[in-house]
Structure 1
Amino acid sequence: MNPGTASNLSVWQIWLLAARPRTLPAAAAPVLVGCGVAVWEGVFRPLPALAAFLVGLLLQIGANISNDYFDFKKGADTSERIGPLRVTQAGLLTPRQVIGGMLVVFGAAALIGLYLIWVAGLPALILGVVAILSALAYTGGPYPLAYHGWGEVFVLLFFGFAAVGGTYFVQAGSVSAAALVSSLPVGLLAMAILTVNNLRDIATDRASGKHTLAVRLGEQGAVIEYGVWVGLAYGVALMGVISRILPVAALLSLLSLPLAARLIRQVAHTRGRGLNVLLGKTGQLELLFAVLFTGGLLISRWWSGF
C-alpha cells in the first residue's frame, strides 16, 4: 500500500491495518487445535473455548499494535521498510492514539479473561498476565525480546504451548500429553511465519540494531531455519501418532504437505516485497494444518479406534 492510497483510508480501515489481520491465523490455529484435543478426549466446553478464542485474537491484535508503536519508537520502522504499512511510521495514527488502541484491546482481553479465571482459577490469571506482559515485552521494555533474538522462543511458548495448552486447560482443568504434543506443530509453524517476516526485514532490522535470529544467521541461514521449523512441525505430528499419544487420524494434517513443500521452495528463491505474500501464505498453511489436524481428531472421536 502506497502513502497516497493510505491517506484515503477511513478510521476503521486504519485500525484494521494496525491489527494486521494476516497474522490472525497464528492466534486462531492453536485455539482450534486445543479445542480439537478437548473434543477427542471428551472434555470440550463451548463457552470457555469461545472465550479462549476471543482472548487469543485480542492478544494477537494487541501485540501487533504494540509492535507497531515500539518498532517506530526504536527506529526499526522507517521509510525504507518493505513490509506492510505500519500506521505509526506512516503517520496514519499518532503514537498516543496507538497506545490508546493497545490499552483498549488488552483491556478487552482482560475482561473476557475474567470469565476464564472464574472457570479455570489461578492458572488462567497467571497465564493471562504473563501473556499480556510478554506481548508488551516482545518489542518494548528495557529488554525487548525480538531485538535480542528471542522472537522464535516467544512464539513457540505463547502460540504453541500456552495457546493450545491454555485452551485445553480452561476446558479440562488440566493439560494432557496429547495437548502438549499437539501444541508443538502449531508453535513451529507460527515460528515459520515469524521467520518469513524477519527474513524480509533483515536489512532494516540490522540497521536499527534489531538482532533477530534471521539477522544473526543471514539470508541463507534464515531460509534453512524456515525449512527446519516447517519440517519439524510435520515430524512432531508423525511422531505423536507413532508414539500413540495422538490418533492415526491426526495424520490427516499431512494433506497440507504439498503446500508446505511449495512454500519452502518459494521462500528459498524470493526476496523483498515478494515475501509479504509468502508471509500470508505461511499463515494460511498453519491454519490449514490446524483445520486438518483438528478434523482428524474429530473423526477419531466419532469413529472410535481410528
Structure 2
Amino acid sequence: MEQSQPAQTGWKVWWQLLRPHTLTASFVPVLIGTTLAIPHTEIHLPLLAAMLVASILIQAATNMFNEYYDYKRGLDTADSVGIGGAIVRYGIAPRTVMAIAVGFCIAAVVLGIYICMESTWWLAAIGTVCIAAGYFYTGGPVPIAYTPFGELTAGLFMGVVIIQIAFFIQTEQLTWFSMLASFPAAVLVGAILMANNIRDRVGDEQNGRRTLAILLGHERAVRFLTGMFATAYLWVLLLILAKAAPGWLLLVILSLPKAVQASRGFHGKTRNTEMMPAMKATAQLNTQFGFLMALGLFLGYTL
C-alpha cells in the first residue's frame, strides 16, 4: 500500500493517533479558567492537574472516536490528510482504537470523580455531557461532524464549558467576567475545526457531510474564518476598553502574525495538502493566543 507520508513505527503511531496538534484545544481553556480564578482564591494545584489531564483525555478520546467512525464509514484512506492513520496506514485494529478511546474516557471519569469530591457532584452531569458530545461528534446516527454545528459545539464545550469548570473548581462560583472572558477562546477552538473543515471540504461533501465550510464554499468559508480571528481580538479589546479586563491582555496582539499566516494560507488553495500549513497555523494561533491571554491575566492580577 502506498503511503502519503513517511512510515511511522512504534510509539509514533500511537502519538499520531492522539492528533497532538488538536490537544491545545483542551489544555489552553483550562489554563485560562484557572488564571481567571487567581483574584478569588489560592490555586489548588492537584485540581488543576486533574482538570488538565481529564480534558486532554477527553479530547484524545474524541479524536479516536473520529478515527474509528470515519474508517467505518469509509471516509479515511491511506492517502487521507490530517488523520492519525493508525487504522488505514498502520494496520491497528479498529476495535483497539475504540478500546483505547473508551479507556481514556474511563480514566477521565476517574479524575472527574476526584474533581467532584473536591467541588460538587453537579459537575458529574456536566462531564457526562462533555464526554457524550465527544462521542456523538462522529458517532451515533446523526454525527455532529456531518452538520453545520461542529464549530459551535466545539467552541461551546472545549471553550466556554471547560473554562467555566476550571474556574468553578477553584472558586466555587461563576461570574459574568469568567463567561465573557471565555468567548475569544471558544471562538478560536471553533476556528480549529473550521480550518479542518475548509481543508477537507471537497472530500467531506462527496461523503455526504454538510459542514459550515461546505455550505459557505471555499472563499466565503475562509472569510468567515478570518472573521473568527478578528472577533477574538476585538472581544479582548472591548473587555479592556470597558475596564473589565487588565490592559496586560493586549499581549494577545503578539499572536496576530500567526492569524495572518493562517488566513493567507487558505486563500487561493485548492488541494488539501496545500492547506495543511494553514491548518497547523490555526492550531498554533489557538495555543499562542491562549497562553498570551493567560499570561496577561496573570500579570494583571499579580503585578
Note whether the superposition's TM-score is higher than 0.5.
yes
> 1:39 aligns to what SS in structure 2?
coil
* Corresponding residue number in structure 2 for 1:219: 218
Q: What RMSD, in angstroms, separates the aligned Cα atoms of the two structures? A: 1.8
Number of the residue aligned with 2:232: 233
In structure 2, give the amino acid aligned to 1:93: I
Q: Is the 8 A contact 1:34 1:165 kept in 2?
A: yes
Tell me, in whole angstroms, the C-alpha distance in 1 between the residues paired with 2:19 and 2:261: 24
Aligned to 2:122: 123
Q: Give the C-alpha shift of residue 161 in structure 1.
A: 0.7
Q: What pairs up with 1:109-148 in 2 under 5 angstroms?
A: 109-148=108-147
Q: Secondary structure at the match of 1:244?
A: coil
Q: Deviations over 1:213-250 (max 9, x none)?
A: 11111111210121011111111111122222212212
Give the distance between the partners of 1:4 and 1:285, measured in 2 at CA.
25
1:32 is the counterpart of 2:31: yes
CA contact (8 A) 2:38 2:301 kept: yes
5 Å-filtered alignment, 1:172-191, equals: 172-191=171-190
Are 2:189 and 2:286, in contact at CA under 8 Å, matched by a contact in 1? yes
- 1:53-105 Cα distance to aligned partner (Å, 9 max, x none): 11111111000001000111122223552334522233521111111111111
> What is the aligned partner in structure 2 of residue 298 from structure 1?
298
Structure 1 segments of 4+ aligned residues over 6 angstroms from their partners: none
Deviations along 1:106-127, whole A, 9 cap, x unmatched? 1111111111111121221011
Partner of 1:150: 149
Structure 1 spans left out of the alignment, 5+ residues: none
- Cα 1:294/1:90, change in 2 over 3 Å: same
Alignment match, 1:54: 53
SS in structure 2 at match of 1:199: helix
- TM-score, normalised via structure 1 length: 0.93
The Cα shift of 1:36 comes to 1.3
The normalised TM-score by structure 2 is 0.94
Identity within the alignment, %: 29
Tell me whether 1:2 sits opposite 2:3 in the alignment.
yes
Could you tell me whether the CA contact under 8 Å between 1:40 and 1:297 is conserved in 2? no
Task: Check 1:4–1:156 CA distance in 2 against 1; reply closer, same or farther (3 A cut).
Answer: closer
1:256 maps to: 255
**d(CA) in 1 for partners of 2:181, 2:246:** 11
Kept in 1, the 8 Å contact 2:258–2:282? The answer is no
Structure scoring higher RCO (CA < 8 A, sep ≥ 6) equals 1
Matched letter for residue 45 of structure 2? P
Which runs of no fewer than 5 residues in structure 2 stay unpaired?
A: none
Amino acid at match of 1:107: I
The Cα offsets for residues 249-286 of structure 1, whole Å up to 9 and x where unpaired, read as 12221221222123222222334213222222211111
Give the Cα–Cα distance (whole angstroms) in 1 for the partners of residues 90 and 256 of structure 2: 41
